[in-house]
Amino acid sequence: MSDKTQKKKKVKHPFNWLSMLMLTTIFQLISMMPVVFLTEEPNVEVVSVFGGFILVQWLYFICARNFASQRATELEIIAFALSGIGLVTVASVKPEYALKQFIAILIGLAAFIVLVAIMRNVEVISALRIPVAIGAVGLLAVNLVMAETVNGALNWINLGAFSIQPSEIVKIAFIFVGAATLEKLQSARSLTRYLIFSLGCVGALFLMRDFGTALIFFATFVVIAFMRSGDIKTIGLICTGAILGAGLIIYFKPYVASRFAAYRHVWELANEGGFQQTRVLSYSASGGLFGLGIGEGRLRHIFASTTDLIFGILCEEWGLIVGFCVVLCFAFVAVYALRIARHARSTVYSIAAVAAAAMILVQLALNVFGVTDLLPLTGVTLPFVSRGGTSMICSWALFAFIKSADIKTYPKLEKQMEE
């Protein structure tokens, strides 16, 4: 008996947050140095942004530990570490990006905290389900009407100083709505309704020609549908239908296929359709395992280097080891999410955590394997690391789904349940 309690105690503290935070901070400080001293006179704005970032990071953990009794903060450590790498990279390419990216991290963090609070209560989730679904479809509809075409995709709304990418925000709603089901709703009818909602989202994205995001939504939909129904036959049918549909689209709209003409032929089309992929591969290999040094790379001068191609910058300047470690962090998060989902207090949370982790992994795969030509290049971002506000907010929000599935996040609730 005493043996068992000892074991339990060990499991409770597998992770020393303070030493992890210190290590992360040291890594961040080291990586910030070359950026600060890249120019002859240190850029005051960049220095203050870096300082502010580290401050916010420490504040969060001190508050979370001491005032919110958070015992498990692995997710946040990873989120801050990745955001930090992204912030430093983005600032190293263009100092003007630094402040915007920092603000995006702050909004992301706020979204994370708010969403974790909302997700506390199943009743609240249930009540919000329909409005969120309607809001999401509405947002996409507005997007379709007033979006601007950026890089061939119609997924930006320009609001003066800021432009937002509604599809990123709808990602959060998509999981929220998908997970928000009660046991009694696990019926064919509720699945049909969700199917219609999903079709609406994926269809709108297709019309916007944002095929990458459409694919992310579809994959997430399949995961959620499986989690809810466990019906492999229906899901097989849906997938077959989707493949047929995609085939029809390619048949009737050849321009869709032509966007992916360079796939697996990038070296022959190195100055056409394979331009970005060949640069990513060539410069990534140039960096070797340890990188050429921050600021020493050349991929940074290529279009979209800080958004879609940022994995290549990491490999070239920070080294293949860092590049791969960043990607492996997400795999770790997915394993972590799986563990939490297995012991979640309700199916809502299981589904939310698994769907969020799946969505992140699929997006990551489309990004990393897309720029390295293992998959067609669809132009999606690398979560947390890529430059971009809505992408950053969405990344934090997805982590919130995983966080809220963990009962340790809500100490009072945990106590109640134990009693």
Site residues for another protein per CB under 8 A: 183, 223, 226-228, 230, 267, 270-271, 278-279, 281-292, 296, 298, 301, 316, 320, 324, 327-328, 331, 334-335, 337-338, 341-344, 346-347, 350-351, 353-354, 357-358, 361-362, 364-365, 368-369, 372, 374
Residue 165 DSSP symbol = -
Q: Which is nearer to another protein, 204 or 364 (CB)?
A: 364
Shortest approach of another protein to residue 381 CB, angstroms?
Answer: 17
- Nearest distance from C-beta of residue 241 to another protein, angstroms: 19
- Least distance to another protein from the beta carbon of 49, Å? 28
| Whether the Cβ atoms of residue 169 and residue 201 lie closer than 8 Å to each other | no
Closest CA to 88 of 270, 408, 286, 326: 326
Name the residue nearer to another protein (CB basis): 114 or 335. 335
- Those residues whose C-beta lies under 8 Å from the C-beta of residue 208, and which sit 6 or more positions away, are 143, 144, 147, 153, 154, 155, 167
User: Least separation, in Å, of the C-beta of 195 and another protein?
Assistant: 18
Task: Name residue, tokens 């929000």.
Answer: 397
The CA distance from 82 to 329, in Å, is 9
**Minimum CB separation from another protein for residue 105, in Å?**
25
User: Which of 168/316 has CB closer to another protein?
Assistant: 316
149: closest CA among 210, 204, 199? 210
Of 199 and 325, which has the nearer Cβ to another protein? 325
Q: Minimum Å distance from CB 120 to another protein?
A: 19
| Tokens matching residue 109 | 């963090």
Nearer to another protein, 37 or 332 (CB): 332
Q: How many C-beta atoms surround the C-beta of residue 247 within 10 A?
A: 10
For another protein, the closer CB: 89 or 220: 220
Which residues have C-beta within 8 Å of that of residue 413, sequence separation ≥ 6?
A: 120, 345, 407
